[in-house]
Amino acid sequence: MRYVLNRLLFLVVSIWAAITLNFILPRLMPGNPAAIMMAKFQGRMPPQALHALEIEMGMASDKPMIVQYFDYLRSMVTGHLGLSYTFYPTPVSAIIRQSLPWTIGLLGVAWLVAVVLGTLAGIWIAWRRGSKADAILPIGTMFFQSIPGFWLGLILLYFAGFLHNWFPTAHAYGDDVTPGFNGRFILSVLYHGFLPFLVVFLGSVSGWIVGMRNNMIMTLGEDYVVFAEAKGIPTRRLIFAYAARNALLPQVTSIAIALSTIIGGQILIEQVFSYPGIGYQLTNAVTSEDYPLIQGMFLIIAVATLVINFIVDMIYGRLDPRARRRGATS
Amino acid sequence: MTTRVSGFILCGGREAGIDLAKEVRERGDVGRAQAVATDKACRARQVRGSVVFRNSVVRETCSRHENLSGHEGDKMKGDGIVVKKMTWRVATLASLAASTLAAGAALPTVASAANPQPLVVVPSPNGNFQYNFNPFTASNNGGNYGTLGLIYEPLFYLDNVSGKTFSLLGTKYTWSNGNKTLTVQLRSNAKWSDGQPFTSDDVVFTFQELKKYPAADTAGIWTQLASVTAKGKNAVVFQFKTANVPFAAYVLSQFIVPKHIWSKLGDPTKVTVTKPVGTGPYTLGSFTPQDYKYNANPNYWGGKPPVPVVDFPAYSGNDAGNMALAMGKVDWDGMFIPQIDKLFVSRDPKHNHYFFPPGNVIMLYTNLKNPLLSQLPVRQAISLAIDRNALANKAEYGYTKPASLTGLVLPNNAAWLDPSLPKSKTQPQYNPQQAEKILQQAGFKKNAQGIYEKNGKPLSFTLKVVAGWTDWDTCAQLIQQDLKKIGIQVTVQEQQLGAYNSDLGGAKKNYDLAISWTNTGPTPYFLYYNMLDTHGNYNVEQLSSKEVDAILADFSQTSSEAQQKKDIYKLERFMMDNLPSIPLFYGPVWFEYRDAKYTGFPTPQNPWINPAPWQNYAQAIVLMHLKPVQ
Amino acid sequence: MSSRIAAKVQEAAGPLDRQDKVRRRSIFSAFIRDPKALTGLIIFSVFVLVGIFAPLIAPYDPHASTFMPSQPPSWQHLFGTTNTGQDIFSQFVWGTRTSLSVGVGAAVVSTLIAFLIGVYAGLKGGWVDAVLNALCNIFLVLPGLALLILIESYLKNTTPVLNGLIIALTGWAWGARVFRSVTLSLANRDFVLAAKLSGAGSLRIMFAEILPNMVSIIAGNLIYSCLGAILAESGLAYLGFEDVASDSWGTILMWAQNGAALMIGAWWWFVPPGLAIALVCTSLTLMNFAVDQIANPRLRVKRRARKTHVLEGGLQHAAQS
């Protein structure tokens, strides 16, 4: 219980930190975003609109900073992320609701496949250490991880989309299908998602392979494994029940940390494939200087990462009793 | 009755020129505010490589004023000429003002079953679409394309390219009471897409909404209007506070919403509209954040639209949009494309076409408050040192031409060009040797770093451009290199749009050199007024010349075209002799199309209407003139 | 990745406890002897040399648009020219200098921050540790590129140097976490305690006592941060958030994409910078791989295992069954 509370506290503190960062950054940066917005309106908005904008952006200048800060905290906590400038008067939260499923879908699938395949491959090459596969797989996948995702994405887009027309060049599903739970739509989503999936997958699988390989090798050297081996436990059982099970633990903690990296990479990949997720909205918001949307997108990405991190911590706690006892020190 | 329309053009020619001029001066920034309204919409959509937006500024200002053009008006005295100048299809619509056509019988119609292919339109780069077809939002911000035009219609559409007036919900209008009362006859056969009839009540209601909710009145209509009343079911009377003929342009092009729906909705700017009901040729078909479609409105007063489905997909940036266009997935496009002949035309020369009419003048503004830039020889040297052909060919891919030193947009303003000016003088020269000579004659000497200086002040300037408008960013770099060659040091500063706007457009200008646009209008007066008048809306260089102000005032007060021309001639000479800022090249309007499915798009030979798919109302008129390929 | 922490903690706590200076010296030779590391080192060195001697190698001014635009590769222009007539090879060479400087610079700065925070937290313990650790965890889970984009949206078109700095300031957490763990295990060793008792200040202990005992971990962190920084910088520049007049690989890619390089078939404009990034990052990965193996002897047992390790038996067992 203490462990859960501890992690919960950390979750709350980090979300608070993300919100605070969102509050501080516009104030640290040169230029007042509200004034910049006003400049864009070039006199079309009445002077009182500046005030409205500042309130909307949580920076009413007549209030002391601390009051502004708590106003901002309150509106964030109650889910009032403001209204998008680009799509005025659409609330930022509505735009997030629209794009979040795509990001989670693409990311989730690519991530899951990478974790499962990567971990299995890691187990395999750790067992077959010194084999050709052990020599090629980590290095080969690492090469893909070293390629900038957007660059690989663009090459694939050009080659498999533009040049050969094997895959669509934009969007999450075809313009001729009706979104909903129907076969054509699902097929279309899979078809459209394949290239972005491939890029996210190739960019992240290496970490799992190498991580699992190293964990396995460490575990295979543990006395209890050696002992089990000596006792003549069948290989399959030895690998999965004895070694892999324990080698998996550190992988679980990596999941959350890797997530923030993957999300980052995915922003670019969504942009490349015009995939209608959060990253695509974020980059568009930046180019159109839609500050409420930028802040909202950042916040949702941060909160999502933190929440997943929390869930992973919970799972980890269940898997490893030591973690529960150690509490929040790690 | 067509004469009424032409009459409008006539008034709009002379008086309108004056009145609108005064108007712009008095009210300051209506035109600009309009420009900004659209500009924001466009910018919102605009991603890297975005020449798109700058033209939107132009297009908006143009659309507001150009149709009032004097010379255009004169050319079109009488409907006969109008008709002769146009193709039959154009004629059918342009003379819709004629009541004989009010029934819409002459509009081309084709059974959709014969050719069910949707027309795919990409006006500009776009992120995910938002499910909101609120016309009040559309005029403010980034509402979805087609809301204005395909669904909601105004009384008239005043085109900025052809200068023609197209009749939509209004059939004719008359001035009375010393040009203070405007009576508009309404189309009697128009229906809302929910079946209710369109009446004068709807018009009055729409204008009352603008009065009640000033946030919706982006054109500032109620600053000039005193009252709006219905005169029977099919006529509306607008009472102006003072005679202001050109201002009618704003009133006539106000879109109309159905009273029976909007009267229940409250503040129209805060409404989310997912089932728009309009009078236009289309109704909303389907919507997803990455694609929406309009279906032909079979009961459209103008007849059944020839294109059954119009499809608007979202492409995040120029890259994705260009790729789709190159692959033949887009039929009508308003985006910038690099190397268009190679990338687009050559892939299907039979069907892939483009046409980039000039929109405005792109200037290198020189801050006249800068003690060095305020010296004419320095500006002359800069102008001579810039290789404008290289700018046009390298940065703009040869899509445009160096601008005339007179400040006119040619050939649009050709009728205003002083015939006594030799072409060799109006065309900019590239002559770095001469530039250095001018500097030396003015007493500048090269310092140790190879930079010209006088009294210890080196010719070293910053050059501001908008970050991400890559063609201008390239221009800035080219200019930097050109000026370095003649011993002028330039530091390029790319700014985000907000900061750039406040540095150039704000009360306190903070720049040395900057690349920026001009706000054009139906006559060259607007460009000159905005740029050169002491109180001009876009007087970026901060010229304050009694001589210029007097010429502009004279122009605004005279109805004699001869006198107006004389004034413009004077301004042309002033521009050339004093070079208050440096014209670079014309800003093009992007328009690409594929005629594999439908033909009938405007062409350079027949630019009968603004061809850009982002041009509200014009796009619907173009759609009604397309013909399916059999 | 946590496995790496564990491995490093073990390594630092284990053999180094014996103050094995000889072993420390052998780290470099072990590094050189590893074929992966050597390959990585050679590739990386080539790029570093290109960066250092950029002014000598680049045939033209990278900004001069004085050539025929849109030319394919030729002897005059190894990588062709841009649509404005700039020599892409010259841009590439100068870009090498910029991108590597940003990568290495960001790596050094972030490793320094990570070292200071991580080691200080580990040494001090108590509430200092708790606060620093929480801070570290927050930075660790906040999505890096999203944070960078958020910052860039306010700064816009920053110089590569500033970008590198921002990347460093947002990317130190991982290293700090590793350093802290290692420090925790070192903090109660005799030599640290002795230094403490002799009245040495925190900074002295950190740099004189702790630092020499985590050289390989620091090296690993440097390599890892450099890789991340190069990738992040290229992404930011590609999105157009970097000064478009700068010469970095990402900026070249941005311009190439802007000029629709791939679609018009100008692969020579688009491919070299991306491939260079991939090569540099691969070389870093290879080196990191080797550092990992040096830091963690068990991962290195590959060859010895063939003879003695239980795993060999396992393999035989597997083969028999």
Residue B178 pLDDT class (50, 70, 90 cuts): confident
pLDDT at res. A55: 52
Ramachandran category for residue A289: left, alpha or beta (phi over 0 → left; psi -120 to 50 → alpha): left
Question: What average pLDDT does this structure show over C37-51?
Answer: 92
Cα–Cα dist A114/A108, whole Å: 10
Q: How far is C289 from chain B (nearest CA, A)?
A: 37
Is the separation of the CB atoms in B218 and B140 below 8 Å? yes
Residue C313 pLDDT class (50, 70, 90 cuts): very low
User: Which of B33, B316, B496 has the CB atom closest to A284's CB atom?
Assistant: B316
User: Mind listing the pLDDT tens digit for each residue in B324-367?
Assistant: 999 999 999 998 888 899 889 999 999 999 999 887 899 999 99
pLDDT at res. C253: 93
Higher-confidence residue of A78 and A193: namely: A193
Residue A34 pLDDT class (50, 70, 90 cuts): low
Q: Do B48 and C240 touch (CB under 8 A)?
A: yes
Question: How far separated are the first and last CA of chain B, in Å rounded?
Answer: 36
Bridge partner residues of B182 (DSSP): B175, B238
Q: Do B478 and C84 touch (CB under 8 A)?
A: yes
Interface of B with A in 29-58 (CB under 8 A): 29, 32-33, 36-37, 39-40, 43-48
Write the secondary structure of chain C as one string of H (helix), E (strand) and C (coil). Answer: CHHHHHHHHHHHHCHHHHCCHHHHHHHHHHHHHCHHHHHHHHHHHHHHHHHHCHHHHCCCCCCCCCCCCCCCCCCCCCCCECCCCCEHHHHHHHHHHHHHHHHHHHHHHHHHHHHHHHHHHHHHCHHHHHHHHHHHHHHHHCCHHHHHHHHHHHHCCECHHHHHHHHHHHCCHHHHHHHHHHHHHHCCCHHHHHHHHCCCCHHHHHHHHHHHHHHHHHHHHHHHHHHHHHHHHHHHHHCCCECCCCCCHHHHHHHHHHCCCCCCCCHHHHHHHHHHHHHHHHHHHHHHHHHHHHHCHHHHCHHHHCCCCHHHHHHHHHHHC
- At residue A312, the 3 state secondary structure works out as helix
Chain B interface residues (partner C, CB cutoff 8 A): 48-49, 318-319, 322-323, 326, 337-339, 342-343, 390, 393-395, 397, 467-468, 470, 473-474, 477-478, 481, 492, 494-496
User: Which of B29, B269, B327 has the CB atom closest to A162's CB atom?
Assistant: B327
User: Which of C146, C274, C285 has the CB atom closest to A301's CB atom?
Assistant: C146
Higher-confidence residue of B165 and B626: namely: B626
Q: Do C157 and B339 touch (CB under 8 A)?
A: no
pLDDT at res. B504: 82
The CA angle B439-B443-B444, to the nearest 5 degrees, is 55
Chain B residues with CB under 8 Å of C260 CB are 319, 322, 337-339, 343
Q: How far is C99 from chain B (nearest CA, A)?
A: 20
Chain B residues with CB under 8 Å of A289 CB are 496-498
Interface of B with A in 488-507 (CB under 8 A): 496-499, 501-502, 505-506
Cα–Cα dist C150/C164, whole Å: 15
Res. A26: pLDDT tops 80: no
Bridge partner residues of B627 (DSSP): B599
Residue B520 pLDDT class (50, 70, 90 cuts): confident
Is the separation of the CB atoms in B231 and B241 below 8 Å? no
Q: Do A305 and C142 touch (CB under 8 A)?
A: yes
Q: How far is A290 from chain C (nearest CA, A)?
A: 9
- List b or e across A26-45, with b for residues whose CB sees 16 or more CB atoms inside 10 angstroms: beeeebbbbbbbbbbbbbbb
Q: Cα–Cα distances in Å, from B478 out to B141, B407, B490?
A: 34, 22, 11
Residue of B nearest to A31 (CA): B499
Res. A180: pLDDT tops 90: no
Q: Give yes or no for A156 touching B (CB within 8 A).
A: no
Q: Do C282 and A142 touch (CB under 8 A)?
A: yes
Cα–Cα dist B115/C145, whole Å: 48
Q: Do C321 and A235 touch (CB under 8 A)?
A: yes
Chain C residues with CB under 8 Å of B503 CB are none
Question: What average pLDDT does this structure show over A192-203?
Answer: 91
The H or E element that residue B119 is part of is strand B119-122
Residue B578 pLDDT class (50, 70, 90 cuts): very high
User: Mind listing the pLDDT tens digit for each residue in B523-553?
Assistant: 788 788 889 988 877 888 999 999 999 998 8
Question: What average pLDDT does this structure show over B310-319?
Answer: 84
Q: Identify the weakest region by mean pLDDT among A207-221, B407-421, B548-562, C248-262.
A: B548-562
Cα–Cα dist C217/C182, whole Å: 9
Q: Identify the weakest region by mean pLDDT among A86-100, B173-187, C83-97.
A: A86-100
ipTM over 0.90: no
Q: Which of C149, B157, B117 is CA-nearest to residue A293?
A: C149
Cα–Cα dist A242/A229, whole Å: 10
pLDDT at res. B117: 84
Chain B residues with CB under 8 Å of C245 CB are 473, 477, 492, 494
Q: Cα–Cα distances in Å, from B30 out to B26, B33, B43, B141, B505?
A: 10, 5, 19, 16, 15
Bridge partner residues of B446 (DSSP): B452
User: Mind listing the pLDDT tens digit for each residue in C123-171?
Assistant: 888 888 888 888 887 787 777 777 787 777 777 667 888 888 888 988 8
What's the mean pLDDT when you consider all of chain C? Answer: 79
Which of C83, C151, C263, C269 is most worth mutating to test chain B (most B CB atoms within 10 A of its CB)?
A: C263
Res. B150: pLDDT tops 80: yes
User: Which of B319, B393, B494 has the CB atom closest to C157's CB atom?
Assistant: B494
Q: Which of B457, B453, B503, B513 is CA-nearest to residue B482?
A: B513
Output the pTM of the full model: 0.78
Domain A101-329: top CATH class: mainly alpha
Name, of B128-142, B341-355, B469-483, C63-77, the range with top average pLDDT. B341-355
Q: Which of B535, B522, B562, B604 is CA-nearest to residue B68?
A: B522
Higher-confidence residue of A43 and B532: namely: B532
Chains that touch A (3 or more CB pairs under 8 A): B, C
User: Mind listing the pLDDT tens digit for each residue in A52-72?
Assistant: 555 545 555 566 778 878 888
Q: How far is C30 from chain A (nearest CA, A)?
A: 18
Q: Give yes or no for B266 touching A (CB within 8 A).
A: no
Q: Do C277 and A146 touch (CB under 8 A)?
A: yes
Residue B474 pLDDT class (50, 70, 90 cuts): confident
**What residue type is assigned to position B598 of the chain?**
Y
Structure tokens at A201: 């997958």
pLDDT at res. B143: 67
Residue B19 pLDDT class (50, 70, 90 cuts): very low
Q: Give yes or no for C255 touching B (CB within 8 A).
A: yes
What's the mean pLDDT when you consider all of chain B? Answer: 78
Is the separation of the CB atoms in B426 and B411 below 8 Å? no
User: Mind listing the pLDDT tens digit for each residue in B384-399?
Assistant: 999 999 999 888 888 9
User: Mind listing the pLDDT tens digit for each residue in B592-625?
Assistant: 999 999 999 999 888 888 898 988 898 999 999 9
Is the separation of the CB atoms in C11 and C296 below 8 Å? yes
Contacts of B475 (CB under 8 A, 6+ apart): B391, B395, B396, B465, B515, B584
Is the separation of the CB atoms in A80 and A90 below 8 Å? no
User: Mind listing the pLDDT tens digit for each residue in A216-260?
Assistant: 888 887 788 888 888 888 888 888 877 887 788 777 777 766 777
Q: Do B338 and C245 touch (CB under 8 A)?
A: no
Contacts of C125 (CB under 8 A, 6+ apart): C187
Residue of C nearest to A128 (CA): C315
Residue C16 pLDDT class (50, 70, 90 cuts): very low
Question: What average pLDDT does this structure show over A139-157?
Answer: 89
Chain C residues with CB under 8 Å of B343 CB are 260, 263-264
Higher-confidence residue of C170 and C9: namely: C170
pLDDT at res. C15: 44
Cα–Cα dist B340/B326, whole Å: 9
Question: What average pLDDT does this structure show over A161-168?
Answer: 89
Q: Do A276 and B498 touch (CB under 8 A)?
A: no
Query: Percentage of residues in chain B with pLDDT exceeding 70?
Result: 77
Write the secondary structure of B44-68 as one string of H (helix), E (strand) and C (coil). Answer: HHCCCCCHHHHHHHHHHHHHHHHHH
Q: Give yes or no for B320 touching A (CB within 8 A).
A: yes
Structure tokens at B28: 């300051």
Higher-confidence residue of C301 and A91: namely: A91
pLDDT at res. B161: 67
pLDDT at res. B442: 92
Residue A4 pLDDT class (50, 70, 90 cuts): confident
**What residue type is assigned to position C11 of the chain?**
E
Bridge partner residues of A40 (DSSP): none
User: In whole angstroms, what separates CA B445 from the centre of its chain?
Assistant: 44
Dihedral sign for Cα B341, B344, B350, B355, please: negative
Q: Give yes or no for A261 touching C (CB within 8 A).
A: yes
Higher-confidence residue of A112 and B582: namely: B582
pLDDT at res. B331: 95
Chain A residues with CB under 8 Å of C317 CB are 229, 235
Residue B88 pLDDT class (50, 70, 90 cuts): very low
Cα–Cα dist C38/C26, whole Å: 15
pLDDT at res. A227: 83
Q: Work out whether strand B460-466 and strand B489-495 pair parallel, antiparallel, or are unpaired.
A: parallel
Is the separation of the CB atoms in B603 and B285 below 8 Å? no
User: Mind listing the pLDDT tens digit for each residue in B221-266?
Assistant: 887 899 999 999 999 999 988 766 666 777 888 999 999 999 999 8
pLDDT at res. B190: 94
User: Which of C65, C244, C264 has the CB atom closest to B467's CB atom?
Assistant: C244
Q: Which of B191, B153, B190, B151 is CA-nearest to residue B284?
A: B151
Ramachandran category for residue C171: left, alpha or beta (phi over 0 → left; psi -120 to 50 → alpha): alpha
Can you give the C-alpha Rg of chain C in angstroms?
23
Structure tokens at B149: 């035009």
Cα–Cα dist B415/B245, whole Å: 23
